[in-house]
Amino acid sequence: MLKSRRWPGKGDRRVLALTVPIILSNATVPLLGAVDTAVVGHLDSPHYIGAVAIGALIFSYVFWSFGFLRMATTGLAAQAAGRRDASEVRAVFARGALIAIVAGLLVMVLQWPIVELAMRLIAPSADVEAAARDYFHVRIWASPATLMQYCMLGWLLAMRDSRAVFIFQVVLNSLNVFLDILFVQGFGWDVRGVAGATVIADYSGVVLGWILMQPHLARLGGRWRDVALFDRDRILRLMKVNGDIFVRTLALTSAFALFTTFSARFGEVTLAANAVLQNFLMFGSFALDGFAHAAETLVGQAYGAERRKQFLWAVRKTTIWAVISACTMALVFAVLGVPIIDGLTSITEVREAAYQYLPWAVLLPVTGVLGFQFDGVFLGAMQTRHWRNMMLCSVALFAVFAWGAVALQSNHALWAAFNLFFLLRGLTLVGLFPTIIPRDAAGFGKG
């Protein structure tokens, strides 16, 4: 008599235990943005909303340029943990933290040229610009803490402690929300209150992150004094990995910028409709990022431990769950797409335009799932050269098709190109996947 197998099985539960807290913690991020908008949205002038939006945009570009601090820390620390190299696990964090502090201080020193360039490019109204400058010059003081958090989150992910990541995000964002309301509604500090809340929350987050790291540091053993912080080979590898991640991130950001720029060619209603529909990608990325982070951690530890079967198991399990999640989200978007659009905008013309292009947004989780997932796989294996190159190829092809869409004056064609970009991201990495699996017994011979 055959035994019935429980589903989800032990391996599936292991993946979900790592992923679900990350998904929930990701969901707290847009909540904070909504509160930032809401607290200034009840002030006596609409220019405060625009000021916070512009300030947040500037910091998104500046800070996300250092996204390699999170990504590289996760991959390198996970591999070191897989090798049971406690000193290197500590060293990976220490090197990232040093870069975060230096980079954060550098951003603060360069604050004047950063804000001047941003204002020239965005060219807001005088009232919006003045308030945005107030926001910027307060929040800039959080730079070292913000970048340090990237290292801490990456390191905790490498330790497979998604519970700590969840606690970190919820506590940090809850504190930020409380201070937002207190400073703006209570003390009347307008946009400076929103920025000040972020500064205090970010430095508090560094303290909390350090506390959450302590159980893992105690379990790992070793001492900070034994860390080879300036090991030449390790630093060179870190620089190479960080360079690849930086170029890849810049390319990805450029793809989104191109989509927005080309959307503007079709008029302000279409531009607004496309902006509304891009929120579907943001909603979908909560879950897809969760499974990608799980893949990055599990693949990294398997790669570091040189366990071929564990490596392939991690890729297979996380990818299956990511595909299930993507199809589920596409179904939800298909059923609830119209109410979601109605909740995001009350402008009739924008709603009607968004309804027209909704099917393309529904497809985004499905066309994007392999790109998200294999980002995590390649990062876990620290095969960043292939990862970088495939992103550059995908963006280049997207730019060609998007330009063709503009020439055809077809927003449908632009959305088709956008979906093709996400599909290409995934398929190119899937095609290269066999090349990152060592085939000789000396490489991944262990089961």
At 421-440, the pLDDT tens digits run 999 999 999 999 988 885 54
Res 445: pLDDT? 40
- Tell me which residue has tokens 């020193």: 109
Res 440: pLDDT? 42
Contact predicate 48/56, CB 8 Å: no
DSSP state of 446: B
Whether the pLDDT of residue 446 is over 60: the answer is: no
Cis peptide before 46 (omega within 30 of 0): no
Q: Kindly report the backbone phi and psi dihedral angles of residue 10, in degrees, each rounded to the nearest multiple of 5, phi listed first.
A: -60, -45
Whether the pLDDT of residue 47 is over 90: the answer is: no
Q: Kindly report the backbone phi and psi dihedral angles of residue 14, in degrees, each rounded to the nearest multiple of 5, phi listed first.
A: -65, -45
Res 1: pLDDT? 43
pTM comes to 0.74
- Which residues have CB under 8 Å from 400's CB, separation 6+? none
Top pLDDT among 137 and 186 is at: 137
Contact predicate 26/288, CB 8 Å: no
User: Quick one: angle between helices 143-158 and 268-305, nearest 10?
Assistant: 50
Res 10: pLDDT? 66
Contact predicate 184/39, CB 8 Å: yes
For every residue of 157-213, DSSP letters joined together read HHTT-HHHHHHHHHHHHHHHHHHHIIIIIIT--HHHHHHHHHHHHHHHHHHHHHHHH
Q: Domain extents for the chain?
A: 19-230, 241-447
Mean pLDDT of 91-95: 90
Whether the pLDDT of residue 441 is over 60: the answer is: no
Res 173: pLDDT? 85
Residues of the chain with pLDDT > 70: what percent?
88
Res 46: pLDDT? 60
Q: Give CA–CA dist 170/178, Å, rounded.
A: 12
pLDDT 10s digits, 280-312: 887 788 778 888 888 888 888 888 777 888 889
Res 42: pLDDT? 58
Res 177: pLDDT? 85
Whole-number average pLDDT of the chain: 83
For every residue of 115-145, DSSP letters joined together read HHHHHHHH---HHHHHHHHHHHHHHGGGHHH
pLDDT 10s digits, 347-375: 788 789 889 999 999 999 999 999 999 98
Least Cα distance to 56 among 174, 172, 194 occurs for 194
Res 71: pLDDT? 80
